[in-house]
Structure 1
Amino acid sequence: MLAFIARSMAKPSGLLKPVVLGKLPGRYLAHQEGLPHLPVPPLQQTLDRYLLALQPIISEEEWNHTKGLVDEFRKPGGVGDRLQKGLERRARKTENWLSDWWLKTAYLEYRLPVVVHSSPGVVLPKQDFLDQQGQLRFAAKLIKGALDFKTMIDNETLPVEYLGGKPLCMNQYYQILSSCRIPGPKHDSVVNYAKGKKPPTHITVVHNFQFFELDVYSSDGSLLTTDQIFTQLEKIWNTSLQTNKEPIGILTSNHRNSWAKAYNNLIKDKTNKESVRSIEKSIFTVCLDSPIPRVSDDIYRSRVAAQMLHGGGSRWNSGNRWFDKTLQFIVAEDGSCGLVYEHAPSEGPPIVALLDHIVEYTKTPELVRSPMIPLPMPKKLRFNITPEIKNDIEKAKQNLNIMVQDLDIKVMVFHHFGKNFPKSEKISPDAFIQLALQLAYYRMYGQVCATYESASLRMFRLGRTDTIRSTSVDSLKFVQALDNPSKQNEEKVELLRRATQAHRAYTDMAIKGNAIDRHLLGLKLQAIEDLVSMPELFMDTAYAVAMHFNLSTSQVPAKTDCVMCFGPVVPDGYGVCYNPMDDHINFAMSAYNSCAETNAARLAHYLEKALLDMRLLLQSTLKSKL
């Protein structure tokens, strides 16, 4: 989902073993095998489109220099040709030529903390419970809803998703439960316990920095009822009232190399190792958070987004997490709730589909009153804290608090209209929002920048993402024209429509496997694998500019009135995620306080104005025709 490509420019550290994605028998496998393989786009097509994508973001002089490098690279029988043939060979031999490489370069070899830099958060609608009973009842219902979804995955009754009449790869759904990221000294790995001989039957519950193993299946293999889960959560709550425990979970927020060292040190102790394994194997984690500090309504949502991403710092809820766990549901005493997920196994849409299911489930009345069969006490996971581990925790706290202070996040609910307005104008809502972002950025900085929007490759077997490059020759013409008084409104509307159509065309090209970014990455990684010297094309300044995504964006539509959020992918950039509802749009914008040039609230202000000005433009020309 995110623009990790910007970070994957360093040379991968050696060749890694491919991650084996477990297969399930029956319908799932038959469906997967019916999906097409990801194509390798034609080399000349990608190079032409690369030059076109560079036009709005570099000078003419730089462009001419790069064109020379591209012409050299594309010569028949030259280096580009050789690398292309290598990629085509790889595509013939593998299920998906990109998926293993992408998992490694975008995630497992990426060494910055997963917190803020990689893991997205989701803010769910605020619940109205006001006490601990309400919190635990909702948490029990949420757990039951997630387990209901798990049953569909286990039974392979999960409905296959379609896009434009084509079935999508469902593999990511089978990777998100009972999985965890494991830190390593140079690269991490992801383990999935769902496919083992004895799949896990427990979840992890965290309260006051203390971890518990909660079995959610009874001895006869049936799921616990919501009432029974609630009773077990009450036991956990009452056993963990003291907060004076070491926040062991905060270790998972550290730089991956530091965490790998601390991890190896932590699991030397047998008790610690057993506790860590229990967390890693659990189906998912539920974090029962203390309330966030009271703030005014206008900044409340932004504070919740920060809580979902990082937990608010060592004084608040950051120790109430195990950030390597793929799924962590968060339910706080004040009614704020949501999720943070480790990004390696999945993109946003499967996570949001799971959340939509859970939110619907929490609204259904409970009919079954369970017989109160006494259940065993949930197992408290114990940790022996040596002075060395204590020291690791203190360092992780300091680093996390710096990160928390640095993240500037703003959630904006745009109330003036939603996706119904652009639809009424026969414009793609996504293209309309992306063009508004281009306009907002141009008005703030007087120039456009490389912009990343994630496109799903799930039409293909094991497909992940490619990049929709929202900055185009057409989008630049529109943003330059809009505030130009010498241009007529009719011309501006024509430019707006042309720019949104160009975005729509690039999107269609990307989801069909014909975008340029993953192909260029593949050629670069092929050069590393073939041990040939790195082609000039990838050492060029223009390539660095093209991969420096000042705007990293993602549309994650949901039925639920929620919004996903993530950190910027470059120090001087923005992370922008949005969920277009019928009559409003939820936005989450992030930036770093350490960069004087960026400000999330300022971008929100300019974006709101851009959306309103674009509507006004379309409406004014409509009126003049009447």
Structure 2
Amino acid sequence: MTVQTQTVLSAILFATGLWLSLILMLRYILKALLSYHAWIFESHGKMSFCTKLWLSLVKMFSGRRPLLYSFQASLPRLPVPSVDDTITRYLESVRPLLDDEQYNQMEVVANDFKRDEAPKLQKYLILKSWWATNYVSDWWEEYIYLRGRSPIMVNSNFYAMVRHLRALGVVPMCSYQMERMFNTTRIPGIETDFVQHLSDRKHLVVYHKGRFFKVWLYYGGRHLWPSELETQFQRILDDTTEPQPGELKLAALTAGNRVPWARSRLKYFSQGVNKASLEAIETSAFFLTLDDEAHGYDPDKLRSLDLYAKSLLHGKCYDRWFDKSFTLIAYKNGKLGVNAEHSWADAPIVGHMWEYVLATDCFHLGYTEEGHCKGDINKGLPPTAKLQWDIPLEDSYMVAKEIADDVDFHGCLFDEFGKGLIKKSRTSPDAFIQLALQLAQFRDKGEFCLTYEASMTRMFREGRTETVRSCTIESTAFVRAMQDKNTKSAQRLDLFRKAADKHQNMYRLAMTGSGIDRHLFCLYIMSKYLNIDSPFLKQVLSEPWRLSTSQTPQQQLNMVDINKFPRYVGAGGGFGPVADDGYGVSYIIVGENLITFHISSKFSSPETDSYRFGQNIRQAMLDIRALFDQNDKKEM
């Protein structure tokens, strides 16, 4: 090479190396900044100088217009908590649920574990955390969701309904789960399922009155306009053909037990028209049900919200494809909803999508005065294709119907007060509601129980959820004081504040990687891999969550001013009960003056009643507010 060529190549190599070094350095600095979590533990409305400086640096290194996945490589890894911290917090969490003798026995078992099995398990878990992107998420998806052989309808899938991302606006959340929102299906297997995600698909499958139709989303190299999609859907609605033999309840296969579905799939759907039709469903962008029923919240109809939720959760057991990442449900009265499969993502991801859909539909696309989609129609659109089947098998309908019929659901709209009044009392709205749930649970059953509240860990790469154990020593002390007629209001209020502070601190610990349940879960899985028998971990993982709760995040996107447009706010979503004799409670804080509770249980349990529990929640909320009202009168 000539001297000039050598000089040019050297310059190129130097510039490339400098550019890569700069990118890596910026990424490392941003990762170090995002590992700072002290801001979460500061009092609401008070920000230290360190946090202000940190926010400024994060803004500076984030760039002006970061894209959805811009921060993925800069997010910190989820840390592995110390065994000592986890055991200490675990024992503290079960203390209010055990008598002295039971607690002493648990303390002995826990300390034996900490001394004998834990060091080796923790060492291997730390090794995993070094090479895995997230030491929890892959095992969580596999063992909590995909290896389950029982039906996913009600037991795993959840729903979101409609009445028509960033923390602090700066801190990024992991967007990994959003990658599998579309073109994703859970495929059944004999021993375990797997999640099939395709990069791109250009069709969806529509179910209407027992028939399946393939609808193309693209034509001539472009996406179909809303007016053209409306035309395609109208063609399906106008189609009067009858379902083929076995087609009507075919989707019940996805609602029943996983092993029979896996075997049927191998036996009857591996060739011919069945294979082609099933492939069309499993490779579709998503599944759409044009429901022939009318549902939605109607204040003039008793328990209309209950029927709406049950329909979204399980429908007729054969009119949703429960394996798809989500089934969009459109009722004949225009109301909408979503049933989502749980393994690929958690509820906030679906909520994020749902907010975007509602805001875009109402404020960007819109409708004509006659109620039709705006835009022209290409009359040369290809017709919808009816899927063909040759099905000589019985379906899983009866198994699914038994599960669906057992769901006792109640939707409770609490409009006495909301976030506005709670914040005036200088209390976290979530802590306020969780303590109300503890009071309601005790009044409902006469005892305390292990309580699950889901929190996010998405400030870490590929983070999903962690558990906040809401039943604490402080919360039980408050509940007992509320039930004791001899306890004065001032004492009750003092105990309430201590319990609320405790709950808020636990929630923050869970969000920042210091929760205990995912750590204990991974230690248990590691013990199975290493064939180490642990009585302590067996007992921990077998404890039932008789009260499972979750707050549905609201206004993640801020695309709608809910004060101006209150009709265009989602009413949240819900899920089935985790324990046979327990409750599942999802709630969403809507604006300043409304909280919606979605309560589920099982009719087969003589101990539970969803409507009764809803009334207990309502009374608990009012009783706690009365404490603040009495305190305000005294201060006046």
Which of 1 and 2 has higher RCO (CA within 8 Å, sep 6+)?
A: 1
Distance 1:240 1:202, change over 3 A: farther
- Equivalent pair of 1:210/1:320 in contact (CA under 8 Å): no
Q: 2:544 is matched by which residue type in structure 1?
A: H
Matched, 1:161 2:157: no
Q: 1:214 is matched by which residue type in structure 2?
A: V
CA deviation after TM superposition for structure 1 residue 163, in Å: 5.7
Distance in 1 separating the partners of 2:240 and 2:409? 31
CA deviation after TM superposition for structure 1 residue 335, in Å: 3.5
**Which one of 281, 298, 302 corresponds to residue 298 of structure 1?**
302
Q: Per-residue displacement from partner, 1:291-329 (whole Å, max 9, x unpaired)?
A: 158997121110010000110x3xxxx322211001111
**Which one of 109, 113, 118 corresponds to residue 80 of structure 1?**
118
The equivalent residue for 2:326 is 327
Distance in 2 separating the partners of 1:108 and 1:601? 32
Matched, 1:569 2:578: yes
Matched, 1:369 2:369: no
Q: Per-residue displacement from partner, 1:29-69 (whole Å, max 9, x unpaired)?
A: 54111000010001101010011001011221111011111
**Which one of 359, 373, 384 corresponds to residue 378 of structure 1?**
384
Aligned-residue identity in percent: 30
Q: 2:127 is matched by which residue type in structure 1?
A: R
CA deviation after TM superposition for structure 1 residue 175, in Å: 1.2
The equivalent residue for 1:171 is 176
- Equivalent pair of 2:449/2:471 in contact (CA under 8 Å): yes
Q: 1:277 is matched by which residue type in structure 2?
A: E
The equivalent residue for 1:155 is none
The equivalent residue for 1:21 is none
**Which one of 132, 138, 145 corresponds to residue 107 of structure 1?**
145
Distance in 1 separating the partners of 2:570 and 2:273? 42
Distance 1:95 1:450, change over 3 A: same
CA deviation after TM superposition for structure 1 residue 240, in Å: 4.7
5+ residue gaps, structure 1, are 1-25, 127-159
- Where does 1:89-104 land on structure 2 (aligned, <5 Å)? 89-104=127-142
- Equivalent pair of 2:410/2:611 in contact (CA under 8 Å): yes
Distance 1:164 1:497, change over 3 A: farther
**Which one of 17, 20, 34 corresponds to residue 74 of structure 2?**
34
SS in 1 for 2:97: coil
Q: 1:565 is matched by which residue type in structure 2?
A: G
Q: Per-residue displacement from partner, 1:193-213 (whole Å, max 9, x unpaired)?
A: 12xxxx201111111121111
The equivalent residue for 1:272 is 274
- Equivalent pair of 1:566/1:577 in contact (CA under 8 Å): yes
The equivalent residue for 2:508 is 508
**Which one of 577, 596, 617 corresponds to residue 586 of structure 1?**
596
- Equivalent pair of 1:83/1:527 in contact (CA under 8 Å): yes
SS in 2 for 1:552: strand
- Where does 1:132-143 land on structure 2 (aligned, <5 Å)? none
CA deviation after TM superposition for structure 1 residue 28, in Å: 5.3
CA deviation after TM superposition for structure 1 residue 269, in Å: 3.4
Q: Per-residue displacement from partner, 1:513-562 (whole Å, max 9, x unpaired)?
A: 10100001111111111122x2121234xx267x3100011000224231
- Equivalent pair of 1:115/1:323 in contact (CA under 8 Å): yes
- Where does 1:186-225 land on structure 2 (aligned, <5 Å)? 186-194=191-199, 199-220=200-221, 222-225=222-225
- Equivalent pair of 1:207/1:240 in contact (CA under 8 Å): no
Greater Cα offset, 42-51 or 373-382? 373-382
The equivalent residue for 1:408 is 408
- Equivalent pair of 1:269/1:384 in contact (CA under 8 Å): no
- Equivalent pair of 2:323/2:341 in contact (CA under 8 Å): yes
Q: 2:187 is matched by which residue type in structure 1?
A: I
The equivalent residue for 1:135 is none
Q: 1:607 is matched by which residue type in structure 2?
A: I
Greater Cα offset, 232-241 or 429-438? 232-241
**Which one of 102, 110, 122 corresponds to residue 70 of structure 1?**
110
CA deviation after TM superposition for structure 1 residue 483, in Å: 2.3
CA deviation after TM superposition for structure 1 residue 334, in Å: 2.9
Matched, 1:309 2:313: yes
The equivalent residue for 2:49 is none
Distance in 1 separating the partners of 2:237 and 2:262? 31
SS in 2 for 1:398: helix
Matched, 1:466 2:466: yes
- Where does 1:497-576 land on structure 2 (aligned, <5 Å)? 497-532=497-532, 534-540=533-539, 543=540, 547-559=543-555, 560-576=569-585
- TM-score, normalized by length of structure 2? 0.83
Distance 1:288 1:504, change over 3 A: same
Matched, 1:615 2:625: yes
Q: 1:61 is matched by which residue type in structure 2?
A: E
- Equivalent pair of 1:304/1:336 in contact (CA under 8 Å): no
Matched, 1:43 2:44: no
The equivalent residue for 2:562 is none
Q: 2:385 is matched by which residue type in structure 1?
A: K
Distance in 2 separating the partners of 1:90 and 1:164? 32
CA deviation after TM superposition for structure 1 residue 369, in Å: 2.3
Distance in 1 separating the partners of 2:465 and 2:240? 42
Alignment: residue pair count: 546
Q: 2:303 is matched by which residue type in structure 1?
A: I
Distance 1:36 1:216, change over 3 A: same
**Which one of 98, 102, 117 corresponds to residue 155 of structure 2?**
117
Greater Cα offset, 553-562 or 407-416? 553-562
- Equivalent pair of 2:295/2:335 in contact (CA under 8 Å): no
SS in 1 for 2:219: coil
Distance 1:41 1:165, change over 3 A: farther
Divergent runs of 4+, >4 A? 26-30, 292-296
- Equivalent pair of 2:207/2:319 in contact (CA under 8 Å): yes
- Where does 1:384-463 land on structure 2 (aligned, <5 Å)? 384-386=390-392, 389=393, 391=394, 393=395, 396-463=396-463
Matched, 1:281 2:283: yes
Distance in 1 separating the partners of 2:436 and 2:310? 25
Q: Per-residue displacement from partner, 1:85-112 (whole Å, max 9, x unpaired)?
A: 1100000111111111000111001111
The equivalent residue for 1:358 is 357
- Equivalent pair of 2:445/2:607 in contact (CA under 8 Å): no
